[in-house]
Amino acid sequence: MAKRNIVKIDEKKCNGCGLCVPNCAEGAIKIAGGKARLVSDVLCDGLGACLGHCPQGAITIEEREAVDFDETKAGKKHAHMHSGCPGSKMMSSGGEAPLSNWPVQIKLIPANAPYFKDADILIAADCVPFAYPDFHEKLLKGKILMVGCPKLDDLRLYKEKITEIIKNNTIKAITYARMEVPCCSGLVTAAKEAIAASGKDVPFEETVISIKGACLK
């Protein structure tokens, strides 16, 4: 084995957000055990295309002994990875869908992700995209998406995450899209309390979707 550049991931800094995965053209990185990990030296070309997509600064390049990069194997791995992950494929290929960020689950989104700069945020109860046929065109377009379940998830953690996002970024507005059922109202309170706790004046709007798929307000 000869010395060459290879990706190094600091597990202490990595929060498992997954932003590096779709930005590794060779498919050399995966999320395992809640952390980004190098799959194999063979798949890493050492060019560091993933570096600029880690908001935690957990990825660096080091020179060490490693097996030669195999472009053939890397290509096969890359194709296999994307065939099973439509979200990652869109992020890496610049697709036409309105979704502009990944991941979208509130617990997984890094609070200092670069796409939050001057962002218009859409927080959606996780039933809304399924119930509202015009979700992508009328609600999501031009917004950063955050998805959660106000009934089954921990609203305290959501409030803390939303507060951190507002404090760390310049947020233009927040829209919360929820179903008309009472259990969806919990995230309204969490979002409003997060805005208050941030000390910033961020416009907040609520959109309600009926169980029949109509936009009520």
User: What is the rounded average pLDDT for all residues in the chain?
Assistant: 84
Confidence of residue 25 (pLDDT cuts 50, 70, 90): confident
Q: According to CATH, what is the number of the domain 114-209? A: 3.40.50
- Distance between CA atoms of 103 and 44, rounded to whole angstroms? 23
**Inter-CA distances, 75 with 26, 70, 171, Å:** 6, 9, 38
Domains 2-93 and 114-209 share a fold: no
CA atoms of 12 and 150, how far apart (whole Å):
30
Q: Which of 80, 16, 9, 108 is nearest to 50 (CA)?
A: 9
Domain-wise residue ranges, the chain: 2-93, 114-209
Q: Name the fold adopted by 2-93.
A: Alpha-Beta Plaits (3.30.70)
Instruction: Report whether pLDDT(77) > 60.
Output: no
For residue 193, name the pLDDT band (cuts at 50, 70, 90): very high
Q: What is the pLDDT of residue 163?
A: 96
